[in-house]
Structure 1
């Protein structure tokens, strides 16, 4: 054969191979090796879909390089280049994306999701099994999380000793906005119908902004139901400590692209039981009749509706919710307790004076548009109206004050309206590099009313922008770095109390002194600018070790009460005075986490440090108030502060049926002098704690019962003697808990029964961060909680 003929034959063979037709088969599965049906796969922008078993077939492919793209709702997208030179069988594993997630996300363990943040995810199952009357209390078994309790049905979360306006709570990407500066009410969140919670500890200012100093409790009620499904779940619960009867129901239905969800919870609770029959406050003994804390009963009704549209390019979810609460205050929590106000009235379920009413209405619109395989834009909108009232029979400390002619028992009335708008653009340069650009706007208007005065009427607007760069090297390194700018303006109306001024003049005080006290707040017009930056990294050298490090700055805008208050705050039992010249609270944070998991061990150690150049706190002024029952004046001021500590979380699986967990938390929060020397401790610092829990499972069915789970837990809180000025030492205590869970199967009927017991030894103890701690009122008595969950549909 001649050379030219050989060349022609070789060229023909090569041409034939180049035009060969190949078939690609494969399957899409999740992390649990379960197939994911009806997923769209793009080969060079040509769409193909998996069948009901997650399998796909792509035919008539020629030799070459193909861009493969999978972007299924609820999972992290996959973008790869595949060289095709023969028929192949492929398999792809989709990993849950925590922006939108499919139903039933279990607690993540032994699996690092490769984010740079120090975060932990829990699901609805966890919240319900650990339910303790409120969301914050239900999270206390997580490392670094505590709660400031207000009775039996409300509480505020605390992370590493930081709470209130230093801890951000968001739902579906929108920050929860109420009167979070106040210690005497909780979150207006329906805890029993939460679908997933992510707790982010450490600096989170970069994406979340103002108040995300301690971290973020990120509530996600936007899970996408599976296609062509309809499910309903009915929950019934009883709590013995306050005779609380709870009914909770949620329903969800999805066709192909449209879905809707409906949720509702109703709770009716009585005065809660405690472990004492008397308290000592202001050197006086006060009775607690029948060991029940009078007027702590209440009701709560929550509803939520959601509609959504999902396809491969556009996703939109609209959520409308309303939380309505009515809860009594222990009569000693407002003003000075008196014996006649504490006398039992014969009814443990009535709500008398004083009490609070809170209604939180919220609308959230989440939208996501995939421009192409590399570009994604998200835009969210939110509106919230938080209306909080304190109702108390008209009373006055000033003889010349008359009752209002309208709503004479309305002591305080706050109406906070908040508008949020957010836009975020994500550009994926390649599988290792992504750029995120975002902008946020928040507009707030706070109206006030009532015969008492606490904080000024104000408007606040915040405008923000940020840039984040993400770099990833295989599954070993990931680095996130970014910068953020915030501009805020704050305007409040001054208030001069003529009634108080005339009262003091009548008591023969000098006009200057009367004016000092009667000027309850000044006209304030301030603007604030803040630049912040952060860098975070995660490193996974092998299958056994994970390392996270986050270093960044953070900030918090001063609140209206810190800037403009002057008078007795009955909810805090003191005279408080603001400072209109306070600057934004600024600081630096470093958070490190090392995790080791091997041979059924999972060990995490997380040390941290926060430094503040101007921490805002209440400082005793040394000047005593001349107002009746005013005591010493506490002045909002700023100082350097250092917050340090660490958490150790150890989990061990001994057998397939036996697990154990131990958590130790150490917290040390201090003020610093101008010379950076340690000074007083900061208020509301939780004690060091040690928590342990053992879980045991029986897989074999017993009669109508299936899958028994038993647990025993213990919590030891060390004595808290590291106290701020005006705080009391809190003695150490140990709490014992236990629980059982099982499925009930009767023919086609299926239900899950959970029984939990807390404070089983009926221990008398004080929670250092509790609202009622200042009254020397101990915490709740023994509680037995029974929950029945009944699912319907498929």
Structure 2
């Protein structure tokens, strides 16, 4: 890694010599037109972020590797869920997928309970250990997002070991005391996705409110190898309401959300001769995995979900408050969440859930931003949660009931010395976990120290070291049963120790009127790293029951991950815009490669925004995209947990048209084609790749492939 740091410093030196206009202002203003929608990973050095800092801070002054994804980037990215939208706009962020609508965020090769998701500052708690469900958030209501890459347990505690995905729902900024809104509709042809969303809002000098609702429905997706992939459809509904009051010295917001998702549960069973998907109609000894009836075409093409599906509901009720106290301020929040997961896995008893979990979470937090001491700003805070998780009237119990209490206290400071900015802090966490037969207490110390230094007015160096902490979750400690939706029997270990990470980050940011670039390198060492390993039988084959459920056991060892990301945005004024993102990560432990590590990836887009002076059309924005994913030959091969994955390329095209409307209104129509040439491919981060029960097939393909060509039309009207 020492050679990598030297190369990075040399690249910074070369960039500084390439600077053309040293006399220009240090904080360039945002440019209108296409430049305002440049790739988020290489945002302006003046972009202000709030995630991972005790108070708003500019990216150029934040030593932590962080990416801001603005509204325009989210609007212009077509995907099935909000995590996939962010993945396409953030180097170093990936997703482990189980079909189009299920994506678990991974940051630099780490995910599940190591990546903390925040919704409007509230930590998302919804059985993050599970594979077969995604993030419970309305994709149509996310206005912007921020992604921290690296340990963030200093401010957020356990589960932010790898980083944070912070989602910000829409809040009105214009206080004109008038009713406004946004109506959105989209259709995706591959799986027939129909989506509609409506937002109404009002903001005056003192009061504001926002009401939102959305509905999305899709059938089974298709590709050129598998045809329609059975039981990958879904139906999702969302409702939310926000109200707030602004005072002379602060504000208070009250928020409520409802997420309701009916989601198919694919298992990948097929007829051996035709490779057509089959369906489970019997149970136990009466169910022969390799001799099930073939799914008829009318069911494959229907929007009606199979009786074997999951029902996920997530409720939030929370408040956030801010008060200015002269030269200091106080921020407080409190919230209640309820997550309900029901998995229906019994074809002969369709109303009997195989899994039924109810998780209640009470979140709380308080921080005091102290009066500045000369050039020193510091914040003292505490946050935590109380949890109660129960299994209700189910036939399978992969995890026992438990209660959890969590509390962490921290101090964080920022000191500006001449042109340098130094940040750092300490945090101490305590967690109490109680189950029927398990009683564990965990403590951990987190720390961070970083510096940003403007080499020139246009080039900034960033360096940060951090110690992160994560306590084992109950699944890793005490699981001992089948999760029917994941088709996995999990086995835990009650003696696991907490994970601790030590990460070093080094980055360069550079900005000119016509070019923006960034390089970020990291090295991450983890003590007591917990991972899943597949168990095999005496013949060396995966241990599988008659219904095709495999057995995985949690293991613990040391691990080391290293890699980096680079971004390049070329945008000559009035000409094209060429955005590039590259990312690479390598993960190792004592037994070889780590599981679920993404390969080298390059995403490139080329677009041009054409302004039309007369007529109905206001702007046209054609864009072409290219995505390259290298072969993953550094996989966790032990006991056949993973297999080799070939490389693949995807070509995407899009055209966006904005229409002239009366003042205060806008109408945008967008047409996109993803995977233009209908490339058949498998991602090493797709769980469906391993949904296979034969060792060979007539067409030479094993496992389920990703989505084929997908044409989409999306329209939104703001008023």
Shorter-chain TM-score range = 0.7 to 0.9
1:633 Cα offset (Å): 5.0
Match of 1:736 in 2: 651
One of 487, 492, 495 as aligned partner of 1:578: 492
What does residue 668 of structure 1 align with? 586
1:89-119 Cα deviation digits (max 9, x unpaired): xxxxxx886449xxxx9xx9xx845223211
After superposition, the Cα gap between the structure-2 partners of 1:785 and 1:632, relative to the gap in structure 1 and judged at 3 Å, is closer
Q: For the Cα contact (< 8 Å) 1:718–1:732, is it kept in 2?
A: yes
Q: 1:781 to 1:272 in 2, by over 3 A?
A: same
Aligned equivalent of 1:261:
210
Task: Give the number of the structure whose alpha-carbon radius of gyration is greater.
Answer: 1
In the alignment, which residue of structure 2 is the partner of 1:80?
A: none
Structure number with higher relative contact order (C-alpha < 8 Å, ≥ 6 residues apart): 2
Q: Which residue of 1 aligns with 2:396?
A: 452
Deviations 1:724-769 (A, max 9, x none): 1320111110000011111123667741111121101100000111
Query: Which of 268, 271, 280 is 1:332 aligned to?
Result: 268
Structure 2 Cα separation of the partners of residues 179 and 269 of structure 1: 24
Quote the Cα distance in structure 2 between the aligned partners of 1:215 and 1:96.
Answer: 19
Superposed displacement of residue 392, structure 1: 2.2
Instruction: Tell me the matched-pair count.
Output: 636
Shift of 1:393: 2.3
Please give the per-residue CA displacement for 1:665-719, whole angstroms capped at 9, x wherever unaligned.
Answer: 11101113xxxxxx41111111111111111111124632111111101001111
- Alpha-carbon contact 2:676-2:710 (below 8 Å) kept: yes
Report what 1:137 is aligned to. Answer: 84
| CA apart distance, 1:446 | 0.5
Deviations 1:213-242 (A, max 9, x none): 221111122635222243211111111111
Query: For 1:572-721, what aligned pairs fall within 5 Å after superposition?
Result: 572-598=486-512, 600-620=514-534, 628=546, 634-672=552-590, 679-701=591-613, 703-721=615-633
Q: CA deviation at 1:577?
A: 1.4
Name the CA distance, whole Å, in 1 between partners of 2:536 and 2:715: 55
User: What is the distance in 2 between the residues matched to 1:760 and 1:337?
Assistant: 34
Residue of 141, 152, 159 corresponding to 1:193: 141
Supply the distance in 2 between the matched residues of 1:670 and 1:435 (Cα, whole angstroms). 37
Choose which of 125, 148, 159 in structure 2 pairs with 1:177: 125
> What is the distance in 2 between the residues matched to 1:221 and 1:99?
14
5+ residue gaps, structure 2: 1-26, 33-45, 270-278, 281-288, 692-702
Q: What is residue 342 of structure 1 aligned with on the other side?
A: 295
- Give the Cα–Cα distance (whole angstroms) in 1 for the partners of residues 395 and 111 of structure 2: 29
Q: Give secondary structure in 1 for the equivalent of 2:322.
A: strand
The 8 Å contact of residues 203 and 550 in structure 1, kept in 2 or not, is answered as no
SS in 1 for 2:155: helix
Q: For the residues of structure 2 that align with 1:135 and 1:33, how far apart are their CA atoms?
A: 26
Change (3 A) 1:631 1:324: closer
Q: Deviations over 1:42-71 (max 9, x none)?
A: xxxxxxxxxxxxxxxxxxxxxxxxxxxxxx
**Correspondence for 2:345 among 392, 398, 405:** 392
Q: Which residue of 1 aligns with 2:65?
A: 118
Displacement of 1:635: 2.6
> Does the Cα contact within 8 Å between 2:345 and 2:485 map onto a contact in 1?
no
| Distance (whole Å) between structure 1 residues aligned to residue 220 and residue 535 of structure 2 | 37
Contiguous gaps of at least 5 residues in structure 1:
1-28, 35-94, 278-290, 396-402, 494-522, 673-678
Partner of 1:310: 246
CA 1:222/1:653 → structure 2, altered by over 3 Å: closer, same or farther?
closer
Q: CA RMSD in A?
A: 2.5
Summarize deviations over 1:538-587 as a string: whole Å, max 9, x none: 11232211122121111211111111122344445444311011111111
Aligned to 2:275: none
Does the residue aligned with 1:451 lie in a helix, a strand or coil? coil
Q: Secondary structure at the match of 1:195?
A: strand
Q: Give SS of 2:370's match.
A: strand
Aligned twin of 2:316: 362
Q: Does residue 1:768 correspond to 2:684, yes or no?
A: yes
Find the aligned partners of 1:178 and 1:416 in 2 and give their Cα distance: 7
Q: 1:378 to 1:746 in 2, by over 3 A?
A: closer
> Which residue does the alignment assign to 1:375?
328
* In 2: Cα distance, 1:156 partner to 1:316 partner: 32
Q: Does 1:439 align with 2:382?
A: yes
Q: Secondary structure at the match of 1:465?
A: strand
Are 2:675 and 1:759 aligned? yes
Q: Does 1:242 align with 2:242?
A: no
Matched, 1:482 2:425: yes
Flag the 1:488–1:377 CA change in 2: closer, same or farther, 3 A. Answer: same
SS of equivalent residue, structure 1 residue 359: strand
Deviation at 1:651, TM superposition (A): 0.9
Distance in 2 separating the partners of 1:96 and 1:534: 22
Give me the whole-angstrom Cα distance separating, in 2, the residues matched to 1:723 and 1:123.
34
| Distance change >3 Å, CA 33–CA 612, structure 1 → 2 | closer
Secondary structure of the residue aligned to 2:660 is: strand
Q: How does 1:521-532 map to 2 (within 5 A)?
A: 523-532=437-446
Q: TM-score, normalised by structure 2?
A: 0.84
The answer to whether the 8 Å contact 2:397/2:482 transfers is: no
**Is the counterpart of residue 778 in structure 1 residue 699 in structure 2?**
no
Aligned mates of 1:128, 1:429 — CA distance in 2: 39
Q: In structure 2, how many angstroms separate the alpha carbons of the residues matched to 1:689 and 1:198?
A: 20
- Which is strand-richer, 1 or 2? 1
